């Protein structure tokens, strides 16, 4: 338990991520990125660059427009890295096939890029940047290894969850219960590391 309870601006509009942070870090009081706030640019080549870029943008914006004091801002840059796609879509995961609206369609498109017999190994990666209102960033990461299913399976989770089978399981993140995803996911591992970093900071 972090004490005193931190009040943190979570700079993301991804509903799936927001739900997971509330479940994974229940002892942090999150404020959501306001509707009138700008989209935060993410132009880096690596998850870490993007997480820091978004955190710096969010802190600056909150300093100028924030409606209440917060201890810091938190950003998440994450994605699915597929062996047979040379690590793609990777940092471009949120921008893969932008002309398709639903993840059911994006997932079908992504699976269609793999030729028969392709290496189906894949990994979810999550990098978090916590930037206190004063002081340097804490950055942490988490990953989970697995493989791609042959079709979209399950309605749980979000994004690429229905095509990702974590190592040691035969169901996708879309089929596994959320509390099981939280015992092994990239985001849960990054959150555990963040909790350790914050606790060390609090002394």
Q: Which of 49, 71, 76, 77 is catalytic?
A: 77
Structure tokens at 168: 């040691």
Nearest residue to ligand IMP, scored by beta-carbon proximity: 159
Specify the pairing of strand 6-10 against strand 72-82.
Answer: parallel
Question: Min. distance of Cβ 16 from ligand IMP in angstroms?
Answer: 6
Structure tokens at 178: 């959320």
Q: Which residues in 123-142 contact ligand IMP (CB under 6 A)? A: 124
Instruction: Please pick, from the candidates 93, 107, 172, 188, the single residue that binds ligand IMP as defined by CB under 6 A.
Output: 93
Instruction: Please pick, from the candidates 21, 25, 58, 79, the single residue that binds ligand IMP as defined by CB under 6 A.
Output: 79
Nearer to ligand IMP, 155 or 202 (CB): 155
**Residue 146 engages ligand IMP in binding (rule: CB under 6 A):** no
| Residue 27 annotated to the active site | no
User: Is the Cα torsion angle 23, 198, 40, 82 positive or negative in sign?
Assistant: negative
Nearer to ligand IMP, 21 or 62 (CB): 21
Spatial contact of 24 and 187, defined as CB atoms under 8 Å apart: yes
Q: Three-state SS for 162?
A: helix
Structure tokens at 8: 């943190």
Question: Min. distance of Cβ 7 from ligand IMP in angstroms?
Answer: 23
Spatial contact of 76 and 126, defined as CB atoms under 8 Å apart: yes
**Residue 33 engages ligand IMP in binding (rule: CB under 6 A):** no
How is the chain split among helix, strand and coil, in percent rounded to 5?
35, 25, 40
**Residue 187 engages ligand IMP in binding (rule: CB under 6 A):** yes
Nearest to 179 by CA among 15, 73, 26: 26
Question: What residues act catalytically?
Answer: 77
Contacting positions for ligand IMP (CB under 6 A):
14, 42, 76-80, 93-94, 124, 157-161, 185, 187
């Amino acid at each position: 338990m972090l004490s005193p309870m931190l009040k943190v601006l979570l700079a993301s509009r991804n509903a799936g991520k927001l739900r997971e942070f509330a479940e994974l870090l229940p002892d942090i009081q999150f404020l959501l990125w306001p509707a009138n706030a700008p989209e935060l640019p993410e132009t880096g080549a690596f998850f870490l660059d993007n997480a820091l870029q978004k955190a710096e943008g969010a802190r600056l914006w909150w300093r100028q427009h924030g409606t209440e004091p917060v201890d810091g801002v938190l950003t998440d840059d994450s994605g699915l890295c597929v062996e047979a796609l040379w690590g793609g879509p990777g940092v471009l995961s949120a921008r893969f096939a932008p002309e398709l609206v639903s993840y059911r369609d994006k997932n079908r498109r992504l699976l269609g890029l793999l030729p028969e017999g392709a290496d189906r190994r894949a990994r979810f990666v999550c990098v978090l940047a916590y930037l206190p209102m004063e002081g340097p960033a804490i950055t942490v990461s988490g990953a989970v290894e697995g493989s791609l299913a042959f079709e979209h399976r399950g309605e749980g989770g979000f994004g690429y969850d229905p095509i990702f089978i974590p190592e040691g399981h035969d169901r996708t993140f879309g089929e596994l219960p959320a509390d099981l995803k939280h015992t092994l996911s990239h985001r849960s591992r990054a959150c555990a590391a963040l909790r350790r970093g914050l606790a060390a900071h609090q002394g």
